[in-house]
Amino acid sequence: MIYEEFLESKKKLILPTGKIVSPDTVHKKLFDFQRDIVVWAVKRGRCAVFADTGLGKTFIQIEWARLLGGHSLIVAPLSVARQTIREAKKIGVSVTYAKNDSQLVAGINITNYENIDNIERNDFNSVVLDESSILKSFDGATRKKLCKKFAKTPYRLCCTATPAPNDQTEIGNHAEFLGVCTMPEMLSTYFVNANKTTEYLSDSGHLIRKKHSNKHGTEWRLRYHAMQEYYRWLSSWAMAIRKPSDLGYSDDGYILPPLTVTPIYIDSHFVPEDELFFTGLRGIAHRSSVRKGTIEKKIQEVVRLSSGKDQVIVWCGLDYESKLATKSIPDAVEVTGSDSPESKAKAFEDFQDGKIRVLVTKPKIGGFGMNFQNAHRMIFFGMNDSWETFYQCIRREYRFGQKKAVEVSCILADVEQQIYDNVVSKGNNADRMMNGLIEVMSTYEKMEIGKMETKIQTDYKEETVKGDSFTAMLGDSSVRLKELKDESIDMSVYSPPFADLYTYSATERDLGNSHNWNEFFSHYSFIIKEILRVTKAGRVTCVHSSDIPAMQMKDGYIGIRDFPGAVIRAYEKEGWIFYGRAIVTKNPQAQAIRTKSKALLFASLRKDSADSRPALLDHILIFLKPGENDIPITPVANGEIDNEKWIDWAGGIWTGISESDTLQYTTARDKNDEKHICPLQLGTIERCIKLYSNPGETVLTPFMGIGSEAYQAIRFGRKAIGIELKESYFQIAVDNLKEIERQSTADTLFSVVENIPDSTFMETETID
C-alpha cells in the first residue's frame, strides 16, 4: 500500500453496508431533504437519523425499511406504535402491530420496547429503533439485550431528536447498537476523563491524591485535537438536523409560529415542617417535598388556564397532581401508566382527532414521539429540573406542522423559581452547543448526501529552515525523509509517539492518532523503512521507548503493554538488526505523581502489594543496519569516552541521568494540547550520540519535537537534520537550534563544523 492510500485508510469513517437506490423510488409525499436522507440511510445500511421533532422521522424510517425490503421490525415507545401505523398509511405502506412472534407478518412490523422479550425471532432483514434516545433511560441489561438481539441484523436504523452535543452516553449507545464501535472504544478515541485529580507529596514522602468528581460520576470531555475527526466520524454514520436549511434545503413549510413560555408563580407561604421559615431549595427530596406541599395552591390556576374551547395538555409529575387536575377540570381525560396499551393509544388518538379537549398525563407517558400539533396550549402543573423533559413536552405541540402560536404556562410556587431558572439556563446552554454542533457537522453531512464536494482543505504544510549546522524540516517524516539521499545519515536518535491517541495533533499524519497498535505500527513502518534507506551501512539508530500502561477503558484490562518489544519486532521486520538495549532508571515517586499510577502508591503497597509494580523505565533500543561500517567510530580517540565511563555505560543500566535535564518545553505547548510533551533527557541523548557517531557527522531525528536530539548533536560537534510535524513545536525547535549554534560559535571546538553538504538531499524541490 502506498503512503497516501494508508492515510486515507486511517480516517475512521464507517463504510456503507446498504444498497444504492434512486431518489425516484422514494414516495413523492416526502420533502426533498427527507428523500435524500432516506437515500443516504439506505446506502449506509446501519446509521442514525437525529432529526428534530416534526421533521418526518416516521416517514423516513418507513421508507428506509420498505426500500431495503425483507422482514422488518420497528421498535417504538408504547404510545408511538399506533401513531406510526397511521402515518404509514399516508404513504401507502402497511405496518402491522405485533406483541409477539405469532402476530408478525411478512413486511414491516412494529412493537413496543416493553414487548421485546416476546419477540424471539432474529431473522429480520432490518430493524428500526424509534425514539432511540430513550435507550439511555433503560438499565444496562436492557441496552445490552437490544444490542445482542439485533447484532446480526444486516440493516439497523436509529431515529430520535437531535441529541445534546455533550451527551456522549447517547452517542455511545447508538454507536454500540449500530455496530459502529463500543462505548469504551469511542470514549478512549475521542474523549478524555474530565474529572480533576490533585496529587502532591506529603512531608513524610507519601503521595496524596485528591479526586474532584462530579456528583454524576465520571465526566468525559471531547479531546480538543479530536473535535474535527470526531464530527467527521459521527457524520459518516449519523445525520443531525434541526431544520432543512441545515443541509442546504429550503425551510419553506418548516418555519414555526411564535412560542410563548410563561412562568406563573403562586404565593404559597410554604414553610417546611422542620423549619421556622423557608431557606431555599436544597436537593431532589426537598424539591419533591415543596412540590407536594404546594399542589392545592396551584390547582385553581391550572383550572383557570385550561378553561375555554381550545384543546389543552396538562403535564403532571405526581400521581396526585394528575388525579386532582382530572377531578377539577370538567372535561379532562387522564392517561396513566397503569392504563392498558390499547387504552393509552385510544386516548391519544381521540385527543389528536379532537374528541378529547383536555388531556392530563405525565411526560414519561406522552412526552416522547407523539404528534399533538392539533393543540397549541399546554400547562405544566409543576416542574422538575430536567430541561430535556421540558423540551420534549413542548415539542409535542410546537413542531413542524403547527399552524398556531403555541402557549406554554408553567405553574410554580413562588419558592420554586429556582427550578424554572435552572431549566431555562440549561436550555440556553443546550442551544448554544447545538448551534455549534450543527455548524461543524453540516459541512460533512452535505458531503454525505452529495450536496457538497468531498474534498476538504487540509492544513498540512512544509517548511525548511537551515543553519550552519542544522536543517530543520516541517512536515510529515514519511514524506520528507524521501528528500534525503540513500546512506547519507551517520546515526539517528529519537523518541516516537508511544502509540497514544490525539496526544499532539488531530491529523492522520500523526502516528499518535492511531486507532490501535496494528494501525500505529503500519504507519510506523513507513518511517522505519526510510530511516533504513538513508542510514549508512553498519551504522546505528537509537530508539527511546518504554512499557505502556494498559487501561481498562481502552485495552479491556489493567496491566502493562510491551511497547519496546513491539518496536523491536517492527524494526526487525523491515531489515534492521536488534543490537542492544540500555535501561534508564527512574524515580518511582516522581513517576507516581506524573502518571497518577496507583501501582506506585504506598497505599497500594500496604493494602495489597499485588496491586504494586515497579516504575516504568526508559528503554534505549539500539538497531544496526546490515553491512560494513566504512568509517570507524572512535569515541575514546575523540576524547569523549574513557574506560571508566565505558564500564558504566556498558553495564546496560544507565544511572545518573536527571529526569529534569531536558530542554524547556512549556512554551511549545499548544493551548489545545491534551498533554505536555516530554522531551528525552539530554543526558540520554548525549550517551547515544557519543557512542554511535563521530564529531562532524550527521545525526537524524525524524520526530524532532522541540529539538532535543538535534540540539545535543550540535552541542557535541555534529550536524543535525530534524523533522517535525507540529508547527508550534517546530518553531520552538528552530529557536533552540539557533541558540545552541550561537553559543557554539564562541567555542573553538565547534568552529570546524561545516555546513551539511547538498549531497545529503535528493535533487528535488522542497515545498514551502
- C-alpha cell belonging to residue 750: 565547534
**Does residue 209 sit within a domain?**
no
Instruction: Encode pLDDT of 555-592 as tens digits.
Output: 778 889 999 999 999 999 999 999 999 999 887 777 66
Domain boundary among 247, 269, 304: 247
Report which DSSP code applies to 482.
G
pLDDT band at 408 (very low <50, low <70, confident <90, very high): very high
Same domain, residue pair 243 and 264: no
399 with 56: CB under 8 angstroms?
no
Q: What is the pLDDT of residue 203?
A: 43
Q: Which residues contact 300 (CB under 8 A, 6 or more apart)?
A: none
Give yes or no: residues 316 and 344 share one domain.
Answer: yes
Among 186, 181, 72, which Cα is nearest to 130's?
A: 72
What pLDDT is recorded for position 14? Answer: 78
Residue 674 is placed in which grid cell? Answer: 491534551
SS3 99: coil
Cα–chain center distance at 115: 33
Cell numbers for 592 = 507516581
Q: What cell numbers appear for 359 in the block?
A: 388531556
Residue type, 419: I
pLDDT at 75: 95
Same domain, 483 and 438: no
| CA-wise closest residue to 25 among 103, 80, 91 | 91
First-to-last alpha carbon distance for the chain, in angstroms, is 27
Within-domain flag for 203: no
pLDDT attached to residue 216: 41
The answer to the question of residue 650 being in a domain is yes
Mean pLDDT of the residues in the chain: 86
User: Which residues fall within 8 angstroms of residue 681, CB to CB, at 6 or more apart?
Assistant: 584, 657, 658, 659, 661, 662
Residue pLDDT, tens place only, 118-132: 999 889 999 999 988
Pairwise CA distance, residues 506 & 498, whole Å? 16
pLDDT tens, 373-400? 999 999 999 999 888 889 989 999 998 8
Whether pTM > 0.85 for this model: the answer is no
The 10s digit of each residue's pLDDT in 314-350 is: 999 999 999 999 999 999 999 999 998 889 989 999 9
Q: Where are the alpha helices (DSSP H) in 699-726?
A: 708-715
Q: Verify that 543 and 396 share a domain, yes or no.
A: no
The C-alpha cell 550561537 sits at: 742
Among the listed residues 650, 720, 709, 719, the one whose alpha carbon sits nearest the alpha carbon of residue 684:
709
CB-based contact 362:344 (threshold 8 Å): no
- The amino acid present at 497, given as its one-letter code, is P
Residues 243 and 284 in one domain: no
User: Which has the closest alpha carbon to 152: 121, 129, 131, 112?
Assistant: 121
Last residue of a domain, one of 221, 247, 273: 247
765, pLDDT greater than 50: no
Cα–Cα distance, 629 to 537 (Å, whole number): 6
187 domain-assigned: no
CA dihedral defined by 181, 182, 184, 190, rounded to 10 degrees?
30
CA distance 364 to 231: 31
- DSSP secondary structure code for residue 218 in this structure: -
- What dihedral do alpha carbons 522, 455, 190, 11 form, nearest 10°? -20
Alpha-carbon 688 to chain mean position? 39
Residue 198 lies in a domain: no
Question: Binning pLDDT at 50, 70 and 90, where does residue 751 land?
Answer: very low
What CATH number is given to the structural domain containing 579?
Answer: 3.40.50.150
Task: Tell me the three-class secondary structure of 19-31, residue by residue.
Answer: CCCCHHHCCCCCC
How many domains does one find in the chain? 3
**Amino acid (one-letter) located at 598:** K
Q: How far apart are CA 639 and CA 306, in angstroms?
A: 97
| Close Cβ partners of 763 (under 8 Å, ≥ 6 residues apart) | none
In a shared domain, residues 437 and 519: no
For residue 710, pLDDT over 50 is answered with: yes
Residues 6+ positions from 743 with CB-CB distance below 8 Å: none
Cell numbers linked to 33: 431533504
Residue 206 domain-assigned? no
* pLDDT tens-digit series, residues 585-612: 887 777 666 666 777 777 777 787 887 8
In this structure, of 75-79, 99-103, 157-161, 436-440, the range with the lowest mean pLDDT score is: 436-440
Residue 229: inside a domain, yes or no? no
Do residues 531 and 625 both lie within one domain? yes
% of the chain beyond a pLDDT of 70: 86
The answer on 407 and 309 residing in a single domain is yes
Does residue 188 lie in a domain region? Answer: no
Shared domain for 86 and 114, answered yes or no, is: yes
Do 609 and 732 fall into the same domain? Answer: yes
- Which of residues 559 and 260 earns the better pLDDT score? 260
**280 and 243 belong to one structural domain:** no
Q: Count CB neighbours of 452 within 10 A.
A: 16
**In this structure, what CATH number is given to the domain that contains residue 274?**
3.40.50.300
Question: Cβ distance 583 to 654 under 8 Å?
Answer: yes
User: Interhelix angle for 168-178 vs 140-149, to 10°?
Assistant: 30
pLDDT of residue 273: 62
- Which one of 407, 423, 448 terminates a domain? 448
| Containing structural domain, residue 628 | 463-760
Q: Are residues 155 and 92 in the same domain?
A: yes
Tens digits of per-residue pLDDT, 458-483?
578 999 999 999 999 999 999 999 99
The burial class, CB within 10 Å (0-12 / 13-18 / 19+), for 539 is: buried
CA distances from 154 to 26, 47, 75, 158, 598 (A): 21, 12, 16, 14, 44
Coil vs helix vs strand at 45: coil
pLDDT of residue 407: 97
Rounded to whole angstroms, the Cα distance separating 119 from 3 reads 49
Q: Cα–Cα distance between 17 and 15 in angstroms, integer? A: 7
Q: Which helix (H) or strand (E) holds 58?
A: helix 57-68
